[in-house]
Amino acid sequence: MGAPFLFWVLRGMADIALPMKLLNYINGQLNEPLSGKWLNNIEPATGLVYSQIPDSTAEDLQAAMEAASAAYPAWAATEAAERSRIMLRIAHLIEENLELLAQAESQDNGKPVGLARVMDIPRAAANISFFATAILHQNTETHYNQGHSLNYTLRQPIGVVGCISPWNLPLYLFTWKIAPALAAGNTVIAKPSEITPLTAFLFSQLCIEAGLPAGVLNIVHGRGGQIGQALTEHPKVKAISFTGGTATGKVIAATAAPMFKKLSLELGGKNPNIIFADCDWEDMLNTTIRSSFANQGQICLCGSRIIVERSVYERFKTDFVARVKQLRIGDPSEDVNIGAVVSEPHMNKILGYIESARQQGAQILTGGNRVQVPGRCANGYFLEPTVIDGLGADCNLNQEEIFGPVVTIIAFDTVEEALDIANGTPYGLAATLWTQNLTRAHQMAEKLDSGIVWVNCWLVRDLRTPFGGVKQSGVGREGGWEALKFFTEAKNVCIKL
Ligand code: TXE
């Protein structure tokens, strides 16, 4: 059912006009922007415009708000089991359309299609089914004061909520936000990144096919500073869940705080990957390749600072660089390890950091350049995976989020020094530790300024666990009950006995 429907939509639109136009999803229908204005969407692997998205304005937001407000009372009153059934239908449709969605994600973002097949799209389906079933198990607290009072807590949906998602894991992070919001009984206005809008548009088709009632989810496309800002500012939006850059997070916080909106901010990272001499060397090397360069290094969890015990520093450099050189870079629709980075400005930003490293006298152990991929990808935004040595822990490359296929290596002598370096940035999202010494691992895990610590692994996810960062990596936690708590208000009911 699903795949032919989506193919029909894409082909049908391509027949009418090229580039294809992606539409807003408001009140259960696909709509053009009220202003009639469009933005170009570029395929990172080719540098060519291949679709257009609505350049939505406050007028489109108002239409979405009216739809979401009208749908709210019925959706909030719908039994959890029924909300769950509808959401599971959406999850199944994602699975049925896995190949099409993976190809779309790869085209839109530049990521290898193989990665989208095994990570992005399966996880998007899992996000929906996880919260669709979690809501069936939600329970609330009671506080019984013998002979005096009985208190119980209601966890009620908030109303209309806003979800704003980024371009690095487009459908994965989009669904990670809207799934708990919808499961808890809220209605949603969601804004995907204007840089990667395609799978959110395809997702709106799946919601229609699954029979999601009109207005329960509304998807508005367009620029962050325009439609994203309008969404954050709207007085009827009760909560904002945002994933993106720290600078944008600050703007959103400043806008939302005076209106006392609930805020969940998942922002940047500058994550340490700490390697001790006693680790399982092969496992560490294989995982460190992934934690450094998966998705072209454009994952907020990537371990961009590799902090290595001095006794194995030279060995690490030799072994790691040899493996990095084996990574295949190229057309993301083929079997490659490294695709294109998401946009030309982003590529230039990353190249700027590499240039800055050179100017500071760093050694580029491998990489450091743009790659010319022959054929259809000749103008694509490809970068070599890059390993940099010889920079101090306080320099810009070790303090700022580069968000590309670039890692630095730093040596340490003692546990205290490793902790100082690891904790010495404004960020605190995820840290990885490689050691066979469990006592040391437990002790360090306690001391790392970080929302997440992975010991002898990376990006091993259990959707029940709290997910988020400290310091400038964000506010609040997503995942499991944390997300359902965020998207509900607790109300205490006290009965005097
Ligand atoms: O993200 P933005 P950008 C980091 C990464 C990257 C940097 C900038 O370092 O280089 O951020 O990326 C919407 N009100 N991360 O500028 O702008 C925007 O339309 C409301 C880390 O591309 O933060 C998009 O939907 N919304 C990261 C979303 O915010 C606004 C993932 C994220 O885009 C808005 C991505 C506004 N005023 C980038 N301005 C992670 N944590 O995983 C923009 N947006």
DSSP letter for 213, please.
Answer: P
- Residue 99 near residue 114, CB atoms below 8 Å: no
Report the residue among 248, 259, 266 best suited for mutation to probe ligand 1: largest number of ligand atoms under 8 A from its CB.
248
Q: How much is the pTM?
A: 0.96
Digit-coded pLDDT (tens) for 381-414: 999 999 999 999 999 999 999 999 999 999 999 9
Cα atoms in the 13 Å half-sphere on the side-chain side of 12: 7
Digit-coded pLDDT (tens) for 58-70: 999 999 999 999 9
Peptide bond into 426 cis (omega under 30): no
**CB of 55 shorter than 6 A to ligand 1:** no
452: CA distance to ligand 1 center in Å? 21
- How many percent of the chain have pLDDT more than 70? 96
Alpha helices in 187-244 (DSSP H): 198-210, 229-233
Q: pLDDT at residue 16 above 80?
A: no
**pLDDT band with cut points at 50, 70 and 90 for residue 6:** low
**pLDDT band with cut points at 50, 70 and 90 for residue 255:** very high
Mean pLDDT of the chain: 96
**CB of 193 shorter than 6 A to ligand 1:** yes
What's the pLDDT score for residue 496? 97
**pLDDT band with cut points at 50, 70 and 90 for residue 2:** very low
**CB of 129 shorter than 6 A to ligand 1:** no
Active site residue 279: no
Q: pLDDT at residue 7 above 90?
A: no
Q: pLDDT at residue 12 above 50?
A: no
249: CA distance to ligand 1 center in Å? 8
**pLDDT band with cut points at 50, 70 and 90 for residue 19:** confident
What's the pLDDT score for residue 14? 46
Q: pLDDT at residue 5 above 80?
A: no
**pLDDT band with cut points at 50, 70 and 90 for residue 131:** very high
Q: What is the dihedral of CA 93, 94, 95, 96, to 10 degrees?
A: 50
449: CA distance to ligand 1 center in Å? 23
Residue of 163, 207, 300, 377 marked active site? 300
Q: DSSP states of 339-351 as a string?
A: ---S-HHHHHHHH
What tokens were used for 124? 């998007």
3 state DSSP class of 55: coil
**pLDDT band with cut points at 50, 70 and 90 for residue 438:** very high
310: CA distance to ligand 1 center in Å? 36
**CB of 300 shorter than 6 A to ligand 1:** yes
For residue 349, with 0-12 CB atoms within 10 Å meaning exposed, 13-18 middle and 19 or more buried, which class applies?
middle
What's the pLDDT score for residue 294? 98
What separation, in Å, do the N-terminal and C-terminal C-alpha atoms of the chain show? 56
**CB of 228 shorter than 6 A to ligand 1:** yes
Which of 218, 251, 217 has its CA nearest to residue 233? 251
**CB of 57 shorter than 6 A to ligand 1:** no
Kind of pairing, strands 430-434 and 272-275? parallel
Residue of 105, 266, 384, 401 marked active site? 266
Q: How many CB atoms lie within 10 A of CB 178?
A: 30
**pLDDT band with cut points at 50, 70 and 90 for residue 218:** very high
**CB of 292 shorter than 6 A to ligand 1:** no
Those residues whose C-beta lies under 8 Å from the C-beta of residue 245, and which sit 6 or more positions away, are 166, 267, 268, 401
Active site residue 266: yes
Digit-coded pLDDT (tens) for 323-347: 999 999 999 999 999 999 999 999 9
CA distance 209 to 123: 20
Mean pLDDT computed over 230-240: 98
- How many percent of the chain have pLDDT more than 90? 96
DSSP letter for 233, please.
Answer: H
- Helix 98-109 with 2-16: angle, nearest 10 deg: 40
Mean pLDDT computed over 166-176: 98
What's the pLDDT score for residue 376? 97
Q: DSSP states of 126-195 as a string?
A: HHHHHHHHHGGG----EEEETTTEEEEEEEEE-SEEEEE--SSSHHHHHHHHHHHHHHTT-EEEEE--TT
Closest residue CA from atom 3 of ligand 1: 245
CA distance 154 to 488: 9
What's the pLDDT score for residue 18? 63
Closest residue CA from atom 44 of ligand 1: 224
CA distance 451 to 363: 31
What's the pLDDT score for residue 10? 53
What's the pLDDT score for residue 8? 44
